[in-house]
Amino acid sequence: MIGAALLGIATWSVLEYAIHRWLGHDKRWIRNVFGVEHTAHHARGHYFAPTWKKGLAAVIVAGVAIGPAVAVAGPSVGGAYVAGFVGFYLVYELIHRLNHTHAGWGPYGRWARRHHFWHHFHDPKANFGVTSPVWDVVFGTRVVPGRVLVPERLAMPWLVDPATGEVRAGLAEMYGLRRVKAG
C-alpha cells in the first residue's frame, strides 16, 4: 500500500508539471478551465482560483480514479494510489498558496518560493514544477533562479516593509522590486 501511495504521489508530480506547462502556458491548449484561472493568477499575483473549485476538482478526480484503480489493484492498493494522488494534489495547492502568501518556512519553503517566482516574474517558460524541480530537470526547463525582481504592483505583502516601501531586511539579497519608471 505504501508503494501504491508513493506511485500516486509520483503521478500527481508529473501531472503537476504537465498541467502547468501545457494547459497553463502552451497557447495551443491554454483555453481551458485551468488555463483561464492560471492566466488570471499570473496577471494578478494575489489571485487564486476559489478553494471550492480546487476541492471540487479533487473530489471529481478521486471519484473518476477510484473505480479503475480498485478494478486494477484491489480496494486497499487502489485506494492507497488514489489517496496518494489526491493527497499530494492538496499538498501542492497548499505549497503553492504558501509560496505567495508567506515569507518561507525553512530551506525547502524558501527554495520552492524562489524557484516558483522565477517562473512568475522572469521566465514563464521555465520552472513549471511548484513542489519539485524533478520534471523541470527531465524536460530541460529548470533554471536556477538568481535575484528575483518582483514587479512592484505584484509585490506580496510579506516581501515589502510597509514602513519603507522597500524589500524587507533579510530578503533583499534574494529579492528586489521592479519599479515602473515615471515619464
Is residue 96 domain-resident?
yes
Per the CB < 8 A criterion, the answer to whether 146 and 175 are in contact is no
Band of pLDDT at residue 182, cut at 50, 70 and 90: low
Residue with cell string 495551443: 28
**pTM (2 d.p.):** 0.89
Residues forming a β-bridge with 160: 167
Q: Is the confidence at residue 181, as pLDDT, over 80?
A: no
Q: Could you give the angle at which helices 2-18 and 75-101 cross, rounded to 10 degrees?
A: 40
Residue 142 lies in a domain: no
> Is residue 183, in this structure, part of any structural domain at all?
no
CB neighbour list of residue 38: distance below 8 Å, 6 or more residues apart: 20, 23, 24, 25
pLDDT digits (tens, 9 = 90+) for 167-180: 999 999 999 999 88
Question: Which residue segment(s) compose the domain that 61 sits in?
Answer: 2-116
Q: Does residue 155 lie in a domain region?
A: no
How many domains, the chain?
1
- The predicted-structure confidence for 87-133, as pLDDT tens digits, reads as follows 999 999 999 999 998 887 899 999 999 999 999 999 999 999 999 99
pLDDT score at 183: 57
Report d(CA 148, CA 83) in Å as an integer.
35
103 occurs within a structural domain: yes
Residue 62 lies in a domain: yes
Say if 64 falls within a structural domain.
yes
Residue 127 in any domain: the answer is: no
Q: Name the E strands within the chain.
A: 148-151, 175-178
